Amino acid sequence: MESRRVTKTLADQWMVERQVREIYDYFYSIPPNSQSVILELQRDKHFDYLTRGLRKLGPSFSVLDSNRPWLCYWILHSIVLFGESIDAKLETDAIDFLTRCQDKDGGYGGGPGQMPHLATSYAAVNSLITLGSPRVLSSINREKLYTFLLRMKDTSGGFRMHDGGELDVRACYTAISVASILNIVDDELIHGVGNFILSCQTYEGGIAGEPGAEAHGGYTFCGLAAMILINEVNRLDLPRLIDWVVFRQGVEGGFQGRTNKLVDGCYSFWQGAVAFLIQRLNLVAHGQLGLSNDLSTESADDSSESELSDEEEHLEGTSSHVQETCPLGQEGQENASDTTKIEDTGYEFINRPIAMQPLFDSMYLQQYVLLCSQVDGGFRDKPGKGRDHYHTCYCLSGLSIAQYSWTDEADSPPLPRDVFGPYSRNLLEQIHPLFNVELDRYYEARKFFSCL
């Protein structure tokens, strides 16, 4: 009989499974008190690793010269997820650097004097929102940034990453995310975006970077989040999308980014957030998906009338929040109680109750992140890889997603049973899943920009 041919991909998969199995076998063979120690988030070591990276990076990081706002975001966001903050001098230095990355014609470049780019604009804006003070938020030139976003708009409806740059779903998300969180989104910006993203949903159900390409976890998050922010998520084929994403959680507990690819810690966020977002698509989920009762949560109503009533209550809550944060009579707020505006989509969405149970094994994902991705200061892709700030950011974001995936209301902490490991040590701050910024920082930014 002809022997089975083993491809490199299959051999790599077996190697990863063996490494992960050894880690899990050892973990479950030791006493419970020792298990608890191994499961702890090494907060002090992570904080030291992150703050040192914000102060100074070695020569090997020169390849990331055009990604310096991303380094700021990955580091600052990770620190805030621990509930920590940086000292005043480091904060001042970060603000000064990001301000120098802002182009005179709008948008942010990868460093001072570099051309503006949608990806680094997203990273810079999220960094400044994470720092959070009114002085910091005031440094963002929204008018010129809006002009830059319009300049990146393509006739196809999508966006280009920079002048003459690539046209893809990532550009659509970063543009819409920035416009939404800064309260500058309008019909001109969103026109045709839904058509472009819809053309990128593949036969598998996930979303590719561009039409005809392969479904990918990062692009699927970008496409789904953007469609939610422009109120066109009902146009996606959600049954196929769900079918694709649930099969991306591997035997290791973590997520893979594409079909037949290796597990990677960063997809704890990219894929985990996709599942988390779908949980809150109340009307769309019950209407398009035809959910059975075993997927519904205890708080979810079975009738469409009850679902509609819940939605209307949240719309009213959104309007009242706008009126509280902006004085009556301020320009543009007189009709705030009529309907939810496009710029309020992010707030309304996070305040929806969950419509179904998590679509992934949240405890198994936490186990993978804590046992296989965590090292002494920072997080990594998988066993055998080195730590870096990118994976630290998205492993922690995914860990937060997993911890709060059973929480029905925003601002409510998860139950101890939903957090893997020691609760007081491992519980992270909650993020807004559409923007991947810490939730309280999002609320502060929304309040600030809704009054401008």
Mark whether 391 is an active-site residue: yes
Residue for token pair 């789904």: 224
Query: Of the residues 46, 142, 389, 391, which is catalytic?
Result: 391
Q: How far, CA to CA in Å, does 288 sit from each of 213, 283, 304?
A: 25, 8, 12
Mark whether 389 is an active-site residue: no
Q: For residues 87 and 79, what is the distance between their CA atoms, to the nearest angstrom?
A: 12
Query: Of the residues 216, 314, 389, 441, which is catalytic?
Result: 216
Mark whether 168 is an active-site residue: no
- Tell me the β-bridge partners of 387: 380
Mark whether 44 is an active-site residue: no
Q: For residues 292 and 68, what is the distance between their CA atoms, to the nearest angstrom?
A: 47
Query: Of the residues 261, 341, 387, 389, which is catalytic?
Result: 261
69 in Cβ contact with 95 (< 8 Å): no
Mark whether 216 is an active-site residue: yes
Q: For residues 299 and 86, what is the distance between their CA atoms, to the nearest angstrom?
A: 39
DSSP string, 220-289: HHHHHHHHHHTT-GGGS-HHHHHHHHHTTB-TTSSBBSSTT--B-TTHHHHHHHHHHHHHT-HHHHHHHS
Mark whether 381 is an active-site residue: yes
Query: Of the residues 381, 387, 404, 442, which is catalytic?
Result: 381
Secondary structure of 361-384 in the HEC alphabet?
CHHHHHHHHHHHHECCCCEECCCC
Query: Of the residues 168, 264, 344, 418, which is catalytic?
Result: 264
Mark whether 104 is an active-site residue: no
Give the DSSP H or E segment for 9. Answer: helix 8-29
Query: Among 215, 172, 177, which Cα is nearest to 195's?
Result: 172
> Token digits for 355?
């419509």
Query: Of the residues 200, 222, 266, 372, which is catalytic?
Result: 266
- What residues act catalytically? 216, 258, 261, 264, 266-267, 381, 388, 391
